[in-house]
Structure 1
């Protein structure tokens, strides 16, 4: 059954038409690129965000047609005013739905070790980033999301597997609806 078509859509029963119909109807999953950037004391950079209470690793949503690594580099240029080099994939973390956010696939990359003074050179995109902080694990536990805390605690213990699933976070929106 065809519900609606645009005049310049490929013919419905052609290969291109079939692919277009599938692309229009298949679920889309949000992809996020985040980076672990450490200072020489081993602290991790977390961003204090304007749109949620918890702090998080730098990064953001990958645009259509953009690789997760390229998206991460772009996000850090836009939001922090810095250019980084991706040194490798740490893990891919599936995030369950949380606080009105849909589930997502989170690609976590190693961004290496830098001097702590790098934050003084950052030009923050104030609509999204209120501040940045170098954090030890105790500060991460106090300020970060459960998914970020669990990820960084696990990374401190051993290298992470290529694929992981983040724990489901307490969700006041979902829990209140029950």
Structure 2
């Protein structure tokens, strides 16, 4: 059996951690927000690069927190500041349409009047339009995993962790 690495000093420990860090897998992290109006409709963004609409948000940059990412993405893409509320749920997403797997954090962005969208300045490179959509119409506009995610998030007691928008199936369940 090989000898365990020596961690006699801080330099040896840092070198070992740097080696592990360089070899361990990385995973895409996504932060999105659920913003609703007085009619319980959810704000969706019609994107230039996807056929399905999606929640506001985006990919978390290196060394950026998911909440900070969501604030930044909304400022860049919708031209407004929002208060990022509580984490509603998180979900692991399997590979989908050319994207690798990811972890998605869904935050509550609160409620605004429906006419709030009139004050937005959309980034035309990414956002074609924004739409208020009711729960019954989700399936016609968003990806199946996103519809599952929103339905799970809007249950009276949302599950803190999901897989592909569903509660995880554990061995023995």
Shift of 1:29: 0.5
Alignment of 1:142-161 (within 5 A): 142-161=140-159
**2:130 matched residue in structure 1:** 132
Number of residue equivalences: 156
2:49 corresponds in structure 1 to 51
- 5+ residue gaps, structure 2, are 1-10, 167-173
- Alignment partner of 1:98 is 2:96: yes
CA distance 1:146–1:105, change in 2 (3 Å): same
Alignment deviations for residues 24-78 of structure 1 (CA, whole Å, 9 cap, x no partner): 1110001100000001111000011111100111000011111111111111001
How big is the shift at 1:14?
1.8
Q: Does 1:39 align with 2:41?
A: no
Match of 1:15 in 2: 13
Q: Could you tell me which residue of structure 2 aligns to residue 109 of structure 1?
A: 107
Q: Determine the C-alpha separation between the residues in 2 that align with 1:158 and 1:49.
A: 30
Corresponding residue SS for 1:117: helix
1:68 is matched with: 66
Deviates more, 1:159-168 or 1:42-51: 159-168
Q: TM-score, normalised by structure 2?
A: 0.86
Structure 2: distance between partners of 1:158 and 1:135: 20
Match of 2:80, SS state, is coil
